[in-house]
Chains A and B, each alone.
Chain A
Amino acid sequence: MKLNITLNGAKKSLEIAPNAYLLDVLRDLAGMKSVKRGCGEGTCGACAVLIDGRLRNSCITFAAHCEGATVLTVEGIGSHEHPHILQKAFVNHGATQCGYCNPGSLLAAKALLDRNPDPTMDQVKEALDGNLCRCTGYVKRIDAVLDAAKEMKSSREEKR
């Protein structure tokens, strides 16, 4: 069957199996290798993407359920040449080591800041509560998100 989605801003029409998971479709058919399989059962957040602005674990989301939806992966927020403010903040704070959890946690952070540009530390903790990181120990990425929020705020003020 056909799946029509807007993936990272571009309209896509993909031929999928009715029982396919979004994780496999994104990686294998759409080439979005940032989306990672960790647990494969909804507990680690390595596969998290934004579907119509909501953070969802793509390993337990049927691809066909996303018909007509807008899907965002890390490929859609920044690149090596032009990283997103959040990506720079993760690097600067050492919130990345092996990097496996980063795509999911960056999108969790983005979903938070899109809704709430000025979050408290507790709000950051809660927004990232579904994204396990076995390397960096959590404090660094919380600092990174708070810092990115500050920087985004000042760049908004400069524009005014």
Chain B
Amino acid sequence: MLAHVARFYHPTTVEEACSLLAAKDHKNVALAGGTHLAVVEDSGIEGLVDLKGLKLTHQRRENGRITIGAMNPVEDLKTSTLLSGPGGNLLRLSAAAIGSTPLRHAITVGGNLVAAFPWSDLPPALLALDTEVVLRRGKEERVLPIGKLYETRPTDVIKADELVTEIRVSEFATSTGTAFQKVARTKNDYALITVAVRLTLKDGLISEARVALNGLTRRPCRITSVETFLTGKKCDKDIFREAAKKAGDGIELTSDFRASREYREEVLPVYIRRCLEEAAANVSK
């Protein structure tokens, strides 16, 4: 409950929204789908700045790039006819893995990547696609690689009066395969493990490997030990098996009532191997 929210704003431009967020006399925060803000207890928040009127619901494909507005409900990614190819497919699959139908109609792309929880399903896919995040502070714009947001917490990087307005992803139209896997007790439950993989090939060898995780780490991350091992190698079952064994290297796995650390340690390599095989099998010509 946001007990002290006494103001609710409906700005219609990014500039107007940012200036409301910059207010010194009381604390305003941005409201997107509200699925997180509606369930938190935060008596410090005094005003909500609804981003609904900013018209950030665009989806475009131009010059091999996909651009998606921050206020797209994730359901609109899931059902998008514009999103195709290895990059678009990975976005669609990760959006489809989120919650239930009414939740997907509420949860937005921007909210899911900013309020990144262990169960957030978009972030690993965004990491695997080397997504660029466009931030606006009034007229001022900066573009950050998604990985930057997850080095610490996104809110440490995004300023209080700054907004995510869109994300940009390469289509990876050729020589690329992607795969996504969410492991959960039921389809609607939070993930125990989320894996997103991209393999981009050159002359038959892996030139770029991305293996990104969530669900079993404190925040979304890439496993660079596996990525480095795969770079320059062939797509081969034995190589994938070997790569998957390195999955736990350098990352700290979590333990909670849904699954123990030991369980996660045991099954993580299996899901990584399967995702690598699936990505290799659907490499676009």
What is the interface of chain A, defined by CB distance below 8 A to chain B? 1, 18-19, 21, 41-43, 45, 48, 54-57, 59-62, 64-65, 67, 108, 126-130
The answer to whether B48 touches A18 (Cβ under 8 A) is yes
- Find A65's partner among B6, B47, B52, B99 (CB 8 Å cutoff): B52
Q: Which residues of B contact A54 (CB under 8 A)?
A: 73, 75, 105
- Chain A residues with CB below 8 A from B73, complex form: 54
A65 touches B31 (CB 8 A): yes
Tell me which residues across on chain A come within 8 A of B7, comparing CB atoms.
18
How far does the Cβ of B3 sit from chain A's closest Cβ, in whole Å?
Answer: 7
Is B2 part of the contact surface with A, judged by Cβ < 8 Å? yes
A130 touches B100 (CB 8 A): yes
A18→B5 contact, CB < 8 A: yes
B105 touches A61 (CB 8 A): no
Q: Are B100 and A62 within 8 A (Cβ)?
A: no
Pairwise interchain contact B31-A62, C-beta atoms closer than 8 A: yes
**Interchain residue pairs with CB less than 8 A apart (30):** A18-B5, A18-B7, A18-B8, A18-B47, A18-B48, A19-B1, A41-B39, A42-B35, A42-B39, A45-B100, A48-B102, A54-B105, A55-B101, A55-B105, A57-B102, A57-B103, A57-B106, A59-B38, A60-B39, A61-B38, A62-B38, A64-B48, A65-B31, A65-B50, A65-B52, A127-B101, A129-B101, A130-B99, A130-B100, A130-B188
Nearest chain A CB to B53's CB is how many angstroms away?
9
Contacts of A126 in B (CB 8 A): 101
Complex: A64 Cα to B11 Cα, angstroms: 13
B55 at the interface (CB under 8 A from A): no
Please list the 6 inter-chain residue pairs (A to B) with the smallest Cβ-Cβ separation, ordered nearest first: A130-B100, A19-B5, A60-B38, A18-B8, A64-B8, A54-B105
- The reply to whether B101 and A108 contact each other, CB–CB distance below 8 Å, is yes
Q: Is B261 an interface residue (CB 8 A)?
A: no
Contact of A56 among B6, B8, B106 (CB under 8 A): B106
- A3, B42: Cα distance in complex, Å: 24
Q: Is B202 on the interface with A (CB-CB < 8 A)? A: no
**A121, chain B: closest CB distance, angstroms:** 15
Other contacts beyond A19-B5, A64-B8: 11, CB < 8 A: A18-B47, A19-B2, A19-B8, A54-B105, A55-B102, A59-B38, A62-B8, A62-B37, A64-B10, A64-B50, A130-B102
Find chain B residues with CB under 8 A from A65 CB. 31, 34, 50, 52
In the bound assembly, the distance between CA atoms of A129 and B5 in angstroms comes to 32
B187 at the interface (CB under 8 A from A): yes
Residue in B closest to A16 when the chains form the complex, CB atoms: B8
Q: Which of B39, B73, B100, B188: most chain A Cβ within 10 A? A: B100
Find chain B residues with CB under 8 A from A43 CB: 100, 188
B102 & A108 in contact (Cβ 8 Å cutoff): yes
B91 nearest CB across to chain A (Å): 19
B1-43 near A? 1/0 per residue, CB < 8 Å? 1111111101000000000000000000001001101110000
How far is A57 from B73 in the complex, measured between Cα atoms in Å?
A: 14
Question: What separation, in Å, do the CA atoms of A41 and B40 have in the docked complex?
Answer: 10
Evaluate contact between A18 and B52: CB separation under 8 angstroms: no
The CA-CA distance from A131 to B52 in the complex, in Å, is 26
Chain B residue with minimal CB distance to A129? B100
Cα–Cα, bound, A51→B48 (Å): 20
Residues of A near B31 (CB, < 8 A) are 62, 65
On whether A60 and B106 interact (CB within 8 A), knowing A45-B100, A65-B52, A129-B101, the answer reads yes
Quick one: closest B residue to A128, CB to CB?
A: B101
A21 & B106 in contact (Cβ 8 Å cutoff): no
Q: Whole-angstrom distance between the alpha carbons of A55 and B103 in the complex?
A: 8
Q: A48 contacts which chain B residues (CB < 8 A)?
A: 102
Q: Are A130 and B38 in contact (CB under 8 A)?
A: no
Cα A43 to Cα B52 in complex, Å, equals 23
The answer to whether B39 and A129 have CB atoms under 8 Å apart is no
B200, chain A: closest CB distance, angstroms? 32
Per-residue contact bits, chain B 216-241, to A (CB 8 Å; 1 contact, 0 not): 00000000000000000000000000
Select from chain B the residue with minimum beta-carbon distance to A126.
B101
Question: Which of B99, B101, B106 has most A Cβ within 10 Å?
Answer: B101
In the complex, what distance in Å separates the CA atom of A65 from the CA atom of B52? 8
Bound together, the chains give a CA A108 to CA B2 distance in angstroms of 28
